[in-house]
């Protein structure tokens, strides 16, 4: 059993030391700003680094090759470790959060969900605001790496459709994996810097620009004010729309385009479908606002597009309370909440490609009904989709709605109304952020929920971020029997 955990603990020790370095950066920033929280961050950084260093030397693991069981463990424990470490400065801060609230905020941050239990956010110390944003930025980077290199190898939820040479965790593929990791980090950092510059040039302060850039590119949605993005004008909202969409694109596609610009790369099926849905639903919502709410066309288009892109990319920003736009708008926002962005992006949700595969599978089944003896293959981006990929995608979809139903029932059993229970469960599993209704809607937060509900939602957020099966497989006896 120790041989199973040894390389996992080794990698977790490295991860904890990375987190402590980021914490030390926040402590340095707090010291520069004369922030009373800087000592909290400094002590937490020192403690986490020391623990990570001790484990690092105790379980020093030779070699790089990992088997599937260790990857399942590493992925799940890694996200839990990041959430636990991220919660410590929040818990020990002068804001006096309970451990449940601190952990909820950290899990929401590291999974780039964006749900919050905090109010009066603009009154928080600069160090805590920066830390919340850094958690989402780190989580977004982790999501990309996991989607590109780990999930295809583990055949999770149809992700083998995007298997590359760098998705193989054998010794011979490690140089490719390391090269891809460097390119991912550089691209992610480059987009973050570009977003920061754009926000600053559009009128944000440097501090707001840095924070919002980290939570925009990571499609996380944490803001530095209770009004979210509602305090900014149209230019900033359109900048956010552009970078939220970039964050929802496959990062391997972005890397390929930056290395060798070829316009045919942008004809990717996921990208075209995402942009098509955004364009169609934005125009529909804008029409409702113009005709029903008597808003000016550009104002209606700006806010409809911004809030739609925020939800469909699972960012979770809000420029206004879209639950006040009418029942049809509420229904539209609820359904697009499940879609998410492209595979290999920072977005959550069920992902565009699974809906595309489902449509192609349905079309193939209809053809078989008409021509029982015909042979039909499912094509995706010019490639034939294997049956095991289709089976995996179908299994993921079935499990997703089972988890949604179970989580909703548990929340309802704790006394929450149906709208709050269902939308909270949905927003946790899809990592969107705000739900629907007066309590957890875009104008509220999750603070009024009982602690038991927050723990359930923490599990739901981790479950959604890890594509369900990565975490669920650890709960099966067969995994531990080897």
| Lookup: tokens for 20 | 């402590």
Q: Is 30 in contact with 38 (CB distance < 8 Å)?
A: yes
Q: Is 103 in contact with 451 (CB distance < 8 Å)?
A: no
Contacts 24+ apart (CB under 8 A), 37-40: 37/89, 37/93, 37/94, 37/125, 37/127, 37/128, 38/127, 40/89, 40/92, 40/93, 40/94
| Lookup: tokens for 4 | 């199973």
Cα of 139 vs its chain's centroid, Å:
7
| 431 marked as binding residue | yes
| Lookup: tokens for 128 | 């805590």
| Lookup: tokens for 298 | 């550009």
DSSP per-residue codes, 141-204: HHHHHIIIIIHHHHT-TTGGGG--GGG--SGGGHHHHHHHHHHHHHHHHHHHHHHHHHHHHTT-
Q: CA 46, CA 27: separation in Å to the nearest integer?
A: 11
Q: Is 424 in contact with 367 (CB distance < 8 Å)?
A: no
| 420 marked as binding residue | no
Phi and psi based region of residue 469 (left: phi greater than 0; alpha: psi -120 to 50; beta: remaining): alpha
DSSP annotation of 322 reads G
| 112 marked as binding residue | yes
DSSP per-residue codes, 12-69: HHHHHHHHHHHHHHHHHHHHHTT-TTHHHHHHHHHHHHHHHHHHHHHS--------HH
Closest CA to 12 of 46, 49, 56, 65: 56
Q: CA 315, CA 311: separation in Å to the nearest integer?
A: 6
| 215 marked as binding residue | no
DSSP per-residue codes, 409-455: HHHHHTT--HHHHHHHHHHHHHT----SHHHHSTTS-STTS-HHHHH
Q: CA 462, CA 376: separation in Å to the nearest integer?
A: 38
The binding site for K(+) comprises 112-113, 220, 314-315, 431-432
The binding site comprises 112-113, 220, 314-315, 431-432
């Amino acid at each position: 059993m120790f041989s199973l955990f040894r390389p996992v603990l080794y990698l977790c020790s490295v991860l904890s030391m990375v987190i402590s370095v980021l914490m030390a950066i926040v402590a340095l920033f707090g010291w520069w700003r004369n922030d009373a929280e800087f000592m909290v961050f400094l002590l937490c950084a020192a403690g986490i680094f020391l623990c990570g260093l001790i484990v690092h030397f105790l379980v020093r693991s030779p070699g790089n090759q990992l088997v599937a069981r260790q990857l399942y463990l590493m992925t799940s424990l890694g996200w839990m470790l990041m959430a636990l470490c991220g919660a410590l400065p929040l818990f020990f801060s002068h804001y006096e959060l309970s451990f449940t609230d601190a952990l909820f905020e950290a899990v929401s941050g590291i999974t780039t969900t964006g749900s919050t239990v905090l109010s009066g956010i603009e009154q928080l110390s600069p160090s805590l605001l920066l830390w919340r944003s850094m958690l989402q930025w780190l989580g977004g980077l982790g999501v990309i790496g996991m989607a590109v290199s780990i999930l295809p190898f583990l055949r999770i939820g149809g992700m083998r459709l995007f298997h590359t040479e760098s998705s193989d965790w054998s010794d011979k593929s490690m140089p490719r994996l390391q090269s891809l990791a460097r390119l991912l980090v550089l691209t992610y950092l480059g987009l973050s810097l570009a977003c920061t510059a754009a926000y600053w040039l559009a009128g944000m302060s440097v501090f707001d620009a840095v924070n919002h850039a980290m939570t925009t590119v990571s499609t996380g949605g944490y803001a530095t004010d209770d009004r979210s993005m509602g305090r900014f004008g149209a230019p900033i909202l359109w900048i956010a729309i552009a970078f939220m969409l970039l964050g929802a694109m496959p990062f391997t596609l972005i890397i390929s385009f930056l290395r060798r610009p070829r316009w045919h790369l942008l004809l990717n099926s996921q990208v075209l479908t995402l942009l098509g849905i955004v364009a169609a639903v934005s125009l529909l919502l804008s029409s409702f606002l113009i005709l029903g709410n008597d808003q000016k066309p550009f104002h209606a288009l700006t806010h409809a597009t911004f809030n739609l892109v925020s939800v469909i990319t699972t960012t979770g920003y809000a420029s206004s309370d879209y639950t006040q736009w009418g029942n049809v708008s509420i229904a539209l926002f609820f359904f697009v909440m499940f879609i998410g962005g492209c595979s290999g992006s920072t977005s959550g949700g069920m992902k565009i490609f699974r809906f595309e595969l489902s449509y192609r599978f349905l079309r193939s089944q209809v053809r078989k009904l008409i021509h029982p003896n015909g042979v039909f293959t499912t094509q995706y981006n010019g490639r034939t989709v294997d049956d095991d990929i289709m089976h995996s995608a179908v299994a993921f979809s079935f499990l997703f709605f089972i988890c949604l139903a179970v989580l909703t029932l548990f929340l309802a059993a704790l006394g929450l109304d149906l709208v709050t229970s269902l939308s909270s469960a949905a927003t946790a599993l899809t990592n969107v952020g705000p739900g629907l209704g007066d309590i957890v809607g875009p104008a509220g937060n999750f603070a009024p929920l009982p602690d038991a509900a927050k723990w359930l939602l923490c599990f739901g957020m981790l479950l959604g971020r890890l594509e369900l099966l990565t975490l669920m497989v650890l709960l099966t006896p067969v995994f531990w029997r080897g």
